[in-house]
Amino acid sequence: MLYKAVVFCQQFNMEELIKKTATEVVDLLKAGEVSPQELIDASENRIREVEGEVNAMPTLCFDRARAHAARLEKEDRSEWGERHLYGLPIAIKDLTPVKDVRWTSGSPIFENRVPDFSDLMVEQLEARGGIVVGKSNTPEFGAGGQTFNEVFGTTRNPWNLNRTVGGSSGGAAAALATGEVWLAQGSDLGGSLRTPASFTGVVGLRPSPKRVAHGPSPLPFALNSVEGPMARNVTDAALFLDMMAGSHRRDPGSLPAPARSYRDSLKNIPKFRKVAYSPDLGQCPIDPEVAEICEKAAMEFASFCEGVEEDCFDLSEADMIFQVLRAQQFAAAHEPNLRTYRDKLKPEMIWNIEKGLKLTGSEIGEAQRAQGVLYHKVTDFFDEYDVLLAPAAIVPAFDHRLRYIEELNGIKFDNYMSWLALPYLLTVTSCPVACIPCGYTKSGLPVGLQIMAPNAREDIALQVAFAFEREHDYAARVPLDPRPGA
């Protein structure tokens, strides 16, 4: 079946295409009313228009993308089925290898690295019709909730170019909010899918560990880092997760894709049981305006559930768990870089690696035991509630010249990660967490709300998120055209 390029030219221009959702564009692709090549042109044109202001996608690969599109157009479309993107352009985070495309991980150490292989996840996305048009910016090795590095510089927030997009999937979020691509892959250890989503008014979903197979990884048994989807709305996030999910023998323990697609699970939203809301997870200072916006949004969930109650499981040990297990992972992954390239690493990376190298077996054992106790508390909690709601960040997007938040409400943080506690305290539960926009500050910056569901129940997180989203127009408010800051 040939693409109906003439129909496309009569019906759509590039500006109209970038405003459409990923789901809408995939439907056009299925119908043959637009071709992958034309979408690549639209993406390239949009990047040319806005990239100088936001710096979201510093590495582009349009020749490679067009070659992939040419191969797709020769395939038998009748065999593609539901779980296929039909030639939709997507962005891949610069922490993830894409064959023959520059892969820096945001570090001067790998400034000129070009891999001869792709991540398993990328291979699957490309096999399912996703066309990689570029790599999104990230902080060095994904460390820190602010997207800047010595290779490509700082990514700026299209809502206000003086503000940060957060991190570490900050380039992915900015690329979505400006219409450079329709879907963007990200990853999450301490909130890297959720913080940028909150700061840019898009949707980020941290899946359960091993829901999305990737690798080959030097640490294939690590469970706290995950790959996940970012999109402009919940339906698009569900669509992208359908394309990403699945097991692979090279990723031990990876989970099979569910029999029912995530997108299909949004067709009949059930009446939910009780929903819990915590304004601070019992542990975090929070900006008063953010707290007010999130509480107001949480109370609105009462319209489609049995009730909203302020409640949370005990997270008093979660900070210790996260800090220890993160440091252990950083030491395992980056000690060779510290030994060989110490002078090229940013100070925060050095601190985190050295923290891991100083850990004792007793400290690691204590953290692992405490995580086990916490998980059992979480499972008991979900016997009573369908989901837990909480703010996604303690502040709205801040000045992009700041490396991180050092103090809030008179509380000083003792390391560069502590301001990210709202998302990372939920990381150690091993449960899926969606982040959706839920309101705006008086200065017009978006605020995100986390929706945490039981382990391996991404469908519940997406259903609850969709039930809220369909009553609001937040997903349609992304700026597309970057706004200068005051």
**Is pLDDT at 469 greater than 90 in this prediction?**
yes
192 is an active site residue: yes
To the query of whether residue 168 is one of the catalytic residues in this protein, the response is yes
Start-to-end C-alpha separation, the chain: 51
Q: Phi and psi at residue 88, in whole multiples of 5°?
A: -80, 130
* Tokens at 412, concatenated: 């000083």
Backbone angles phi, psi at 448, to 5 degrees: -110, 155
418 is catalytic: no
- As assigned by CATH, the class of the 51-477 domain is alpha beta
- Token look-up 């637009």 returns 34
Residue 116: strand, helix, or coil: coil
The owner of tokens 């605020």 is 447
Q: Which DSSP category does 399 fall into?
A: B
pLDDT at 362 over 90: yes
The residue from 192, 208, 261, 418 that is catalytic is 192
Angstrom distance (rounded) from CA 2 to CA 4: 6
Whether the pLDDT of residue 9 is over 50: the answer is no
Q: Of residues 168, 225, 254, 261, which has the active-site annotation?
A: 168
Residue 289 has what pLDDT?
A: 98
Mean pLDDT value across the chain = 96
Confidence label for 199 from pLDDT (cuts 50, 70 and 90): very high
* Tens of pLDDT, residues 318-337: 999 999 999 999 999 999 99
Query: What does the pLDDT read at residue 78?
Result: 86
The answer on pLDDT for 6 being more than 60 is no
pLDDT of the residue at 8: 43
Over range 280-305, report the average pLDDT. Answer: 98
Q: How confident is the model at residue 67 (pLDDT cuts 50, 70, 90)?
A: very high
Helix (H, G, I), strand (E, B) or coil at 218: coil
Please state the domain extents for the chain.
51-477
Cα torsion at 35, 39, 42, 43 (round to 10°)?
A: -160
H or E element at residue 438: strand 433-440
Q: State the alpha helices, DSSP H only, in 165-277.
A: 170-177, 194-200, 234-244, 262-265
pLDDT the model gives residue 79: 86
Given the structure tokens 């892969």, which residue do they identify? 103
Both tokens of 259, joined, read: 């029999």
Q: What percent of the chain has pLDDT over 90?
A: 94
| Full-model pTM | 0.97
pLDDT mean over 45-65: 98
Give the active site residue among 20, 35, 93, 210.
93
